[in-house]
Amino acid sequence: MKTRAPSASATLNRRELLGAAAGLAGLSWPARRALAGERWDLIVIGGGTAGLPAAIFAAEHGRVLVIEKSAMLGGTLDRSTGQVAAAGTVFQQARGISDSPDAHYDDIMRINEGTSDPALTRLFVDHAGPTLNWLAANGYTVAPGHPVTGDAHDHYTVARYQWGTPGGWSIYRAMEPQLQRALESGHITTVLGSSAIELIQAPDGSMGGVVVEDASGQRIDYRAPRVLIASGGCASNPQLFEALHGVPLYAQVAHPNSQGAGLLLGLAAGGHIRGGDKYATLLGAIPADERFPSAPVGIAALNATLRQPWEILVNVHGQRFCREDHPSVHALEVAAAAQPGHRHWAIFDQRILESAPPLSRRWTREQQLQVLRNNPAFSSADSLGVLALRAGLDPQGLLRTVAAYNEALTQRRPDPFGLEHRPLPIVQPPFHAIRMQGWTLVSFAGLAVNERLQVTREDGRAIPGLYAAGEVIGAGATSGRAYVNGTLATSALTFGRLLGQTLLTADR
């Protein structure tokens, strides 16, 4: 069976070119051409977070071909902040932190309310520690003071979460020497700037190889009995994203090649897609304009552990819907996802604007004013009624909401939503509103796989020789309907490494 995936884009953006320059600086492998008639033990589609460890470890046992759509390797590691989490790491040992995969599993399931796949989450936590230790043995280091219990998302109960320095690219750098050795020895061959567009299957459904198209449109069939789809998710493909999640792609933040090609390849090979219902929203994206997807001009830290709120949050009806300083970011995200259009407006007055710390950790107050002044998401008015009209809110609803908030505060009564940090009432004109958007940077829907990471049909039967790892199996697989610190990059690395270690050593 063959299917056509979205066509390759030959255009490289500036970031890709810069990344290519950075990535290739240390790599100088012989430019070996993969020939059409050659047979490989494994073809990896996508040389990114999951694909590279898979190729590196599989190359110890056979010949591996990596097909990569970009002109560079590394995938989303070029932009990921590189937040990773695992139990039993050398970083924990160095700080005397006791942890276990069981505790990691329990924390993930507590934060995502038991919504990730139990078998895949188990597989992930059991192998995540050795994966980070492998990176550490190859020079990967973490930020000072890490591991910590958390940062942007709900915290773990144990410090097992860390950022690489510098960011996600530090993970690529740690893999680079092994990658280079395997490239030089010919155990890994890469085909860069080319897209996997079809899977070649025997009549019984088993894998036979991959049809690849280069930037000029030339096609070559590459043959292998095993194919690993590691081509990332679909969070740069608005149509496919919305079709799979039932929610528009509000923000464009993902790698441009996260077009969902692997999802379509797996689907056409007989696999099925699950997990769109696990869509979870992040908070506080300030969109650049009215269009979707939009590149946010900033992300407000609607997270009491990072910044105590001075503003109230309302929906399009002008009604509050959450305790703004709720200790659980996940709880806030769930509340925001229940609002029309996943939109939320921060409402405040002039005194708050002049007194509160900037909404984003990345801004000074001056930068914040500069960003907001030119942004259609920012509205101001001398009365709350006019503010509501300018911001697109229900005026009566907003008037009632602000009156109730101010009354409870000035009369020293508890806030109706339990908000504890309420330093100032909203009384001094001009009044301000910032329209914010719920958003995501990953796709939650993905190819169904079993606990051996084999792509499965709807009846649960595995497609012989077809595997998937990384975001193509859906962020929901290990993160569930939530954002759990470090769960995505770490599981992509972990599952890639695990497949690389096992695929060519056992008759799977």
- Residues near ligand FAD, by CB under 6 A: 5, 45-51, 67-70, 75-77, 79-83, 195-196, 230-232, 253-255, 257-258, 261, 441-442, 470-472, 486-490, 492
Query: Using an 8 Å Cβ cutoff, are 190 and 47 in contact?
Result: yes
β partners of residue 209: 200, 223
CB-nearer residue toward ligand FAD: 11 or 411:
11
- Rounded CA Rg of the chain: 24
Q: Nearest approach, Cβ of 471 to ligand FAD (angstroms)?
A: 4
Q: Give the span between the Cα atoms of 273 and 296, in whole angstroms.
A: 29
**Which one, 227 or 372, has the nearer CB to ligand FAD?**
227
Buried-state track 114-142, b at ≥16 Cβ within 10 A, e below 16: ebbbeebbbbbbbbbbbbbbbbbeeebeb
- Burial bucket for residue 256 (CB in 10 Å: 0-12, 13-18, 19+): middle
> Which residue, 77 or 387, has its beta carbon nearer to ligand FAD?
77
CB 398 within 8 A of CB 314: yes
Question: Which residues neighbour 449 within 8 Å (Cβ) at sequence distance 6 or greater?
Answer: 120, 455, 456, 467, 468, 473, 477
Q: To the nearest whole angstrom, how small is the minimum distance from the Cβ of residue 363 to ligand FAD?
A: 18
User: For ligand FAD, which is the closer residue by CB, 492 or 499?
Assistant: 492
Region of 251 please: left (phi>0), alpha (psi -120 to 50) or beta. Answer: beta
* Least spacing, CB of residue 131 vs ligand FAD, in Å: 12
**Using CB atoms, what's the residue nearest to ligand FAD?**
48
Choose between 233 and 358: whose C-beta lies nearer to ligand FAD.
233
Measured from the Cβ of residue 77, the count of other Cβ atoms closer than 10 Å reads 26
Residue 53 preceded by cis peptide, ω within 30: no
Nearest approach in angstroms of CB 352 to ligand FAD is: 30
Identify which of residues 51 and 276 has a Cβ nearer to ligand FAD in the complex.
Answer: 51
Q: How far is the CB of 172 from ligand FAD (least distance, A)?
A: 9
CB of 282 to ligand FAD, least distance (A): 11
Which one, 9 or 319, has the nearer CB to ligand FAD? 9
**Minimal distance in Å, beta carbon 41 to ligand FAD?**
18
